[in-house]
Amino acid sequence: MLPVLLFPEQALGKMDHMPMPTLTCFNADDIHGKIGEEISEDIAYRIGRAFGEYYASRSVSIACDIRLTSEALNQAVPSGLRDSGSDVIDIGLCGIEGIYFAVFHLNVDDGIEITASHNPQDYNGMKLVQGCARPISRDSDLTILQHLAENNAFSSLQMPGSLVHDALLNAYANYLLDYVDSTAMRPLRLVVNAGNGVVGHLIDALNARFQADQVPCTFSKIHNRQDGTFPHVAPNTLLLGNQADTASTVFNTGTDIDITLGDNCNRCFFFDANCRFIDDYYILGVLAWALLCKHPGSKIMHSQCYTWNTIEILQRASGAISQRRTDHVFIMEMIRQKHTIYGGEIISPHYFRDFGYCNSGMIPWLRLIDLMSLAGRSLLDMVDERMAAYPCSEKINYSVAPNEATLEGVFDRSPPPPPANGGGSC
């Protein structure tokens, strides 16, 4: 079990005005690091204080996932925010998309989620967003926040901000139900694997709403109990070894679709009724087609890893195509700038204009079961033709050693570069 109290010798408030070395928990588009080495309660307090002072935030929504160290960090960050004068609204346990929803639903200035996403169990961190759920990264202000937290030279404040608790579980579940036409839903059997992550209680809430509205969907839940020790699988649903429980349940129960969710609900993966893992390449195509049927001529954004199948589908549906580099925060910002209706990239993030241009792990599967009902087709049927036309392997990783020898072998097999002056025939 991971410790709850981190760096006890650095109790909050004991190190005021003392600078610290470079904080290695600041990354390209979020904050995460190893507990006890790269991130602690004191560091979390400084980040909260730096955040509140730099943005002069009047109100900040904050939430956390179910990692064993999240609650301690979720007390330190609000302390820093309140000492900067910010009012804090703690919405409790939820995934990162819960914070996106809170920012535009509550109309607060900013939001912070305590999470390490799909990093190992002994890590933790934060994802930061500004008003309208705009992400904060190195391309915006993350480096400035890092320097402020390192310098630890904050102004004194006479009146601290307030702290209130406002769980948005029911409000968010109601919001998500708008993505399905409950009156047209045909009977479907769903397997939902929450991976013991933070999304379990949201799945329960949606299941209850479906039953109350007599939506004919049957939920089979796997690892739905929230447990920060992650007793069954590591908090990374992309790893093939973490998908065995889901595949076996699909095989044994004869379900129509499986939904495997990331531990903080920012990603989702699918199996069809034949236990076949469906690459996001094809899910992106299905969702893009469905949205373009409702909104002809709209813009669809995808990363440069998703090409032939996606481009053909968009051309058929007269959709505008926009390719961008694979980068979570970059794509979120570009979707907003281009007013793109939908976007997707490798390893599952799906972005929706109607969800504040943010990514969601819940909206994709709700849209899929809605489409399966309206079209009267199975997921297998919807992707089979595309998989045959544009086959692709799953992501395959290799460990090689020594690296120098491997690179030399690649260079030996590669064609020579063109002349420096650009000469040569076409």
- How far from chain centre, in Å, is Cα 367? 17
CA nearest neighbour of 192 among 159, 169, 224, 239: 224
Would you call 57 a catalytic residue per the annotation? no
Q: Which residue, chain included where needed, has tokens 């097999």?
A: 413
Q: What is the pLDDT of residues 212-238, one digit of tens each?
A: 999 999 999 988 999 888 887 766 655
Structure confidence at residue 424 as a pLDDT band (50, 70, 90)? very low
Between strands 342-344 and 299-303, the pairing is parallel
The mean of the pLDDT values for the chain is 83
**88-134 pLDDT, tens digit each:** 999 999 999 999 999 999 999 999 999 988 888 899 999 999 988 88
Does residue 7 surpass a pLDDT of 70? no
Do the beta carbons of residue 100 and residue 68 sit within 8 Å? no
- In this prediction, residue 202 carries a pLDDT of 95
Which listed residue (40, 79, 117, 303) is catalytic?
Answer: 117
Instruction: Choose between 204 and 273: higher pLDDT.
Output: 204
Q: Of the candidates 20, 25, 76, 24, which has an alpha carbon nearest to the alpha carbon of residue 48?
A: 76
More confident position, 203 or 11: 203
Q: Exposed/middle/buried for 88, CB within 10 Å: 0-12, 13-18, 19+?
A: buried
Give one word for 295, left, alpha or beta, with left for phi > 0 and alpha for psi -120 to 50: beta
For the chain, the first-to-last Cα distance in angstroms comes to: 62
| Sheet with 358-359: strands ordered across | 320-324, 299-303, 342-344, 350-352, 358-359
Between CA 363 and CA 352 the distance in angstroms is: 9
Task: State the pLDDT confidence band at 17, using cuts at 50, 70 and 90.
Answer: low
Q: How far is the C-alpha of 54 from the C-alpha of 49, rounded, in Å?
A: 9
Task: For 398, list phi and psi in degrees, rounded to 5.
Answer: -125, 140
pLDDT, tens digit (0-9, with 9 covering 90-100), for 294-352: 888 888 887 767 678 888 888 887 766 665 555 667 777 788 888 889 988 766 788 99
Q: Are 390 and 294 in contact (CB under 8 A)?
A: no
Q: Longest Cα pair distance anywhere in the chain, in angstroms?
A: 73
> Positive or negative CA dihedral for 192, 193, 194, 200?
positive
Q: Give the residue among 339, 364, 365, 370 at the shortest CA–CA distance from 353.
A: 339
